[in-house]
Structure 1
Amino acid sequence: MHSFKTESKKLLDLMINSVYTNKEIFLRELISNASDAEDKLYLRSLTDPDVDLGSEELTIRITPDAQARTLTISDNGSGMTAEDLERNLGTIAHSDSEEFKTANSDAQNSAIDIIGQFGVGFYSAFMVAKHVRVVSKAYGDTQAHAWTSDGLEGYEIEDAEREGHGTDVILTLKDDEEPGANGEGGERYSQYLEEWTLRELVRRHSNYVHHPIQMMVTKSRQKPKPEDAGDDYKPEYESYQELETINSMTPIWKKRSSEIEQKDYDEFYKSTFHDFEDPARTISFHAEGALEYDALVFIPSRAPFDLYSRDYEKGLALYSSNVLIQEKCADLVPDYYNFVRGVVASPDVTLNISRETLQQNRQLHAIANRVEKKITAELEDMRDNDREAFEKFFENFGRGLKYGIYASYGMKKDELADLLLFWSAREQKLLTLREYVAAMPADQHAIYYAAGDDRDRLAKMPVVESVLAKGYDVLLCTQDVDEFCFQAMRDYTAKDLPKVYEDEAAREAAQKAQADGAEPEREDRTVELHNVTSGDLDLATDEEKKAAEETAKANDDLLSALKEALGDKVEKVAISTRLAADGAPAVITSEGPLSLEMEQVLSAGPESGDVPRAQRVLEINAQHPVFEKLRAAKDADDSDKINLYAALLYDQALLVEGMMPEDPVAFASKVCELM
């Protein structure tokens, strides 16, 4: 027996117990080794006239034997001599494939894809096997040799028998382990002898290895009908076995989009990502140069049921050398595009030793940036050329785009803002922010919006109606993330719009220049985002402002009494400049960074007890008949009535805002008292 060196024994133990996190990876590694052996022989056949071989002759065979508890992975590739077995399997972390790839880098082509890098994949077999026997015969040799080991102390190499060139890796699987009393632990190694499991592992990890992977599979067929069978004969069936290729070999993403129909993409998407609807858009592209990769990305037609759950995992499937590395590589897509599904395949990404995870590097970052730009461009095309489809997309995934702006503290607004849609109170349809700005009157300098939980209620709010009366549109925002998104954005820049001339002389001069053949002037227009219930919208005329100031000064005693009646419920009571004469008697607004809508959203969260309150302002409509009642109560020095009116105005203003009074029972009692 040949003993592993002390260092090798420690390394082997590390390989078996630490490097790989998933036992099923062993099959991927052994198939990859078999594929490498076949590629080496095929490459040799291209330069050596003595090697008479075509690539179609090279196959990989999987043979389970449930009775003997063995699983055999066979290839008819280059094979190994006794010296090769000693060097490649007796020396841990020695990669013959890596040496071969380096030595023949100039001769490789698209039909050859050497996978091995680290020389440790073979030892993953010991995660599931208690004994491994490798029988190999080098091409052109007459003698086969066998390498056997239990993965503990050492290995043996001896002469063996094998009919043709190639290698058989024979695993004797470990005994099944029973789970513990609490249901933990236990391992059913016999599952790796089951046809369905083996097919699924090949499909998941090695489906696109470019050599046929074959296995005897059980099928059913109808027996011939006996000649003497009567009319009541029922068909009988029998099982039989047939050698079948169980991998696809050619990845769909390797084909150019001009070579494949959309229905093929649709079928691949539905079968791979378990969706019953065709994707809304398909993005396929190839990159060459310093970094080579293929990408096939799908924008789904509907949101998966768990998209906004804590357990949802984003990411694209990552392949290297046609072998699955990560089923969901989260680093390939940003969080706001977490709904995107697809595949990225690159031979250039730097893998860690287990090939289950990636080394973080600039290559991966470059791929992710390109994928993100392609997705953004596709969504922009959908927005501009298929508005109905884009609105359906936004209904499913728009929340995530808004959250992307908020979570990046506004850093991503330039990339995402033009993909957002909001309901226009004036146009009664969804608009982009650019469309809103393009339709603004020349004297409008802000985007106005109202946030709440119901579009119809928002449209009826007095402050919304007053802004609409000024001739300005209002965006009605009904998702809880809307206010946070706009707060993070602060402003929006609409690019390349027709220039707006506020000065009549400048407008006439521009029109004359265009009549003489000049190009129309364009400009980028930056506008702030204003919540109609927060802060001073500055929409009142100078006369209206002056009248409000005079009214406030003349009724300072009344405003002070109302503030005293409400206590710390409000920061102040003021005369409103945003309410029309026939509008509401009062409205609740806010000052500072926290709006009423943000307060409601935060209050609904798990930390509702610690949520800060908005700085509330009760604005009184001095043109409303109720104001005269307030003035009369103050003149009569009726403090009880002042207190009653103040509480009622405050609570009804809260209701208009979609907020419950702090004490609904007291509110109902006050209404009855007034009646």
Structure 2
Amino acid sequence: MTQIINKETREFQAETKQLLDLMIHSIYTNKEIFLRELISNASDAIDKLRFESLTNQDLLEGDSNFEIFIVPDEASHTLTISDNGIGMTYNEVVENIGTIAKSGTKSFLEKLKEKETTNDNELIGQFGVGFYSAFMISDKVTLVTRAPGQEKGVKWQSAGDGTYTIEECEKEKRGTTITIELNEDFRATSRPDENFLERYTIENLIKKYSDYIRYPIKMNFIKEEKPLDADGNEIPDAPATETVEIRTLNSMTPLWTRNKNEITTEEYQLFYKDLFHDWEEPMEIVHSKAEGTVEYTSLLFIPSRAPFDFYSQKSTSGIRLYSKHIFIMDNCQDLLPEYLRFVRGLVDSPDFSLNISREILQHSKQLKLIGKNLEKSVLKTLENILSKDRAKYEKFWKEFGRALKIGAYSDYSSRDKLKDLLLFSSSHASDTLTTLADYAGRMAENQKVIYYATGKDQASVERLPQMELLKEKNIEVLYLFDQVDEFTIDALKEYGDKKFQSISRGDLNLDDIDSPEAKKNTEAIYKENETLIQAIKDLLTGKIADVKISNRLKSSAVCLVSDDKGISLSMEQILSEMNQSMYKASRILELNPNHEVFTTLKNLHQTAPGSEAFNDYCELLYVQALLIEGILPEDPIGFANKVSSLMARIGK
């Protein structure tokens, strides 16, 4: 009998109440995944105990036969899942079950609101709220648990109504037992796959989701046998006798230990979905075995889709480590470089020592060697996809390309490895992406640099005045839309022997406009208008570093560029958004001497130097150049007033 001690009733955390209400009212269409989640939790609990027992054998309490046991009971309408894992203390139950703030509840609830556009079944595993999936099919859930070394167990119970009871209890063995009292919809159903008290339904679900759980999942089966006569034949009218047969429902054979030629694609996919709680199939599978200096087997997966928080600072992922098929640790983040953190999978090596701490393990020589090999393997896989299946690679790029760009920017040692995997939009074709090798292959022999332009989208980039001359000459320009793109290009510096050149920084390095004759002509125009240019420069002191006669403009009156020594205007804006406003671009105002506005400026300077009209023209040209670059003027009201004033003068 369970002894009730200090029973108390508590309320769930507010967000947990919301979650339970959503689950109970059929947010999830695929109810069967509750069993996968509870079995995965049981397996994790055994993993934790097994690891802790490596340095503290007392935790085993004399029982090292790990198992998960399932008991369906049609009489009481209950389904029970038990494990002999790490269990929980009283305080751990309150912290882990009574509140789920640590499991990303807010983000989870936000995603539920987007259910119309989200694959709902993937969310449970993604947010670590698997225990609560039991409330999808139950009227009441009871949890009884005891941690190793504790005198008392803990009993937790809830009907999913916003409250739960918790009390100390007697529990002979360590571990956790969860009993689900099925609600009426699942006690008698016309759908066999939703009869969760039917043993063969349970068996099929375990084969589907949990076949590779490394611990035996057991269940009692009732076997009826009729007595036999002397010849070994059944006696027809004799009553049958019932015997209980305990069956192990999962294979437990680690998939990665088998010959990959004998493993089907479906088996790989089911293993991935079960281990990483992803509802989608992986995009690519990399299974390899290495022998030599260090021996290991690796099974890596490239997911089809990035997690919702993949690019947030809190996003963590890593590779699972096993030694001789024994789980050591999860999410080893030191194995692969940061830019490959989207890769999921495991490494099993007999060379890992089970007696050393996790911190030492993460920095071991074996691990570093394995990490280098895995990095090469993943990059080679991506290269093969890029060369053989461009459409597939572009799908990968849409999800994880930003990670590779960040890697090329932030990891000096990886730039050469990643440069040929980078994709960019370009003026070559609006509907396809290009590699740097593709761009270089299309360059004219006399083209000195690789041109790029930055902007929020293709339309805004193609409208830049700086694009006019390059369009006219049919010179390809890379389009950089992502904030990290320009940082990546600046870090690479060059591709082959061709340097990167922003169309908005420094000179364009075109032979015809940089020829002695063209330079001489530009110098002549500058000299002829030197006093005008100086007047504009004086008027805009503090706002610009220089005023120049432009050789890159065709139809536009003005543009704003920066010199090739400092940061660009677009990078200044990005750094400002990152609260790094101390970094400023050197702003250079370029004027088109062939534009009628330039002629108007010349006339105003000659007839009314320093007049209000002249000053307004100069200010308006500067603000126009700012707006073209996507930079708001410091004084938008003043700008609007100047436009109104100019319109009024023209009207007269």
With normalisation by structure 2, the TM-score equals 0.65
Contact 1:128/1:189 (<8 A) preserved = no
SS in 2 for 1:411: helix
Per the TM alignment, residue 350 of structure 1 is displaced from its structure 2 partner at its CA by 3.5
Are residue 571 (structure 1) and residue 573 (structure 2) matched? no
Contact 1:26 1:127 in 2 (8 A): no
Q: Which residue of 2 aligns with 1:547?
A: 521
CA–CA distance in structure 2, aligned partners of residues 292 and 440 of structure 1: 46
CA-to-aligned-CA distance 1:181-226 (integer Å, 9 cap, x gap):
xxxxx999978231589x9xxx9999665xx736457x999xxxxx
Alpha-carbon distance in 1 for matches of 2:170, 2:53: 18
Distance 1:371 1:342 in 2: 11
- Provide closer, same or farther for how the CA distance between residues 178 and 659 of structure 1 changes in structure 2, counting only shifts above 3 A: farther
Question: How far does residue 426 in structure 1 lie from its aligned partner after superposition?
Answer: 2.8
**Residues 320, 347 of structure 1: 8 Å contact kept:** yes
- The aligned residue for residue 653 of structure 1 is 625
RMSD (Å) for aligned C-alpha atoms: 3.8
Cα distance in 2 for residues equivalent to 1:206 and 1:188: 33
Q: Which residue of 2 aligns with 1:599?
A: 572
User: Counterpart amino acid of 2:643?
Assistant: V
Flag structure 2 segments of 5+ consecutive residues without an equivalent.
1-43, 58-63, 72-81, 91-146, 157-166, 181-202, 224-242, 648-652
Deviation at 1:345, TM superposition (A): 0.8
Partner of 1:400: 403
Check the 8 A contact 2:321/2:327 in 1, yes or no: yes
CA distance in 2, matches of 1:251, 1:25: 15
Report what 1:281 is aligned to: 284
Distance in 2 (alpha carbons) for counterparts of 1:204 and 1:353: 33
- In the alignment, which residue of structure 1 is the partner of 2:100? none
Alignment of 1:129-528 (within 5 A): 173-176=150-153, 192-194=175-177, 213=216, 215-216=218-219, 243-245=246-248, 248-353=251-356, 358=361, 360-408=363-411, 410-428=412-430, 429-493=432-496, 526-528=497-499
User: What residue identity is the alignment partner of 1:637?
Assistant: A
Give the secondary structure class of the aligned counterpart of 1:650. helix
Q: Cα gap change, 1:328/1:453 in structure 2, threshold over 3 Å: closer, same or farther?
A: same
* Residues 47-70 of structure 1 deviation map (CA, whole Å, 9 limit, x = unaligned): xxxxxxxxxxx97667899xxxxx
* CA distance in 2: counterparts of 1:178 and 1:636, whole angstroms: 93
Relative to structure 1, is the Cα distance of residues 566 and 241 closer, same or farther in structure 2, using a 3 angstrom cutoff?
A: farther
1:630 match: 601
Shift of 1:430: 0.9
Cα separation, partners in 2 of 1:64 and 1:631, compared to 1, 3 Å: closer
Shift of 1:241: 8.5
Decide whether the 8 Å contact of 2:70 with 2:217 is kept in 1.
Answer: no
Q: Deviations over 1:456-496 (max 9, x none)?
A: 11012111121222231001110000111111111112xxx
Aligned with 1:562 (options 514, 536, 549): 536
Q: Does 1:644 align with 2:647?
A: no
Is the alpha carbon distance of 1:549 and 1:337 closer, same or farther for their aligned partners in structure 2, counting shifts above 3 Å?
Answer: same
SS of residue paired to 1:612: coil
The alignment partner of 2:294 has SS state of coil
Partner of 2:31: none
Identify the residue that residue 646 of structure 2 maps to in structure 1: 674
Query: Which AA in structure 1 matches 2:566?
Result: P
Who is 1:534 aligned against? Answer: 505
Confirm or deny: 8 A CA contact 1:216 1:243 kept in the other structure.
yes
Letter in 2 for 1:594: I
1:151: which partner in 2? none
Partner of 2:49: 27
The answer as to whether partners of 2:86 and 2:175 remain within 8 angstroms in 1 is no
SS in 1 for 2:429: coil
SS across alignment from 2:409: helix
1:82-161 matched pairs, under 5 angstroms: none
Secondary structure in 1 matching 2:453: strand
CA displacement, residues 485-531 of structure 1 (integer Å, 9 cap, x when unaligned)? 111111112xxxxxxxxxxxxxxxxxxxxxxxxxxxxxxxx110011
Give, in angstroms, the shift of residue 554 of structure 1.
1.3
* Higher CA-based Rg: 1
Check the 8 A contact 1:446/1:528 in 2, yes or no. yes
Give me the whole-angstrom Cα distance separating, in 1, the residues matched to 2:274 and 2:210: 15
Task: Return the alpha-carbon distance in structure 2 between the equivalents of residues 178 and 616 of structure 1.
Answer: 69
Is the contact between residue 209 and residue 274 of structure 2 (CA under 8 Å) also seen in structure 1?
no
Task: State the TM-score, normalizing by the size of structure 1.
Answer: 0.63
Distance 1:417 1:572 in 2: 35
Distance 1:646 1:245, change over 3 A: same
> C-alpha separation between the residues in 2 aligned to 1:188 and 1:456?
68
Structure 1 alignment gaps of length 5 or more: 1-21, 36-57, 66-70, 74-123, 130-169, 180-185, 222-239, 494-525
**Is 2:586 aligned against 1:615?**
yes
Q: SS in structure 2 opposite 1:447?
A: strand
Whole-Å separation in 2 of the counterparts to 1:267 and 1:339: 19
What does the per-residue CA deviation read over 1:424-480, in whole Å, with 9 as the maximum and x for residues that have no partner? 113322110000001000010111000121211101211112122223100111000
Cα distance change, pair 473–555 in 1 and its aligned pair in 2 (3 A): same
- C-alpha spacing 1:398/1:172, structure 2 compared with 1 (3 Å): closer
How far 1:658 sits from its partner (Å)?
1.7
Q: Is the 8 A contact 1:630 1:645 kept in 2?
A: yes
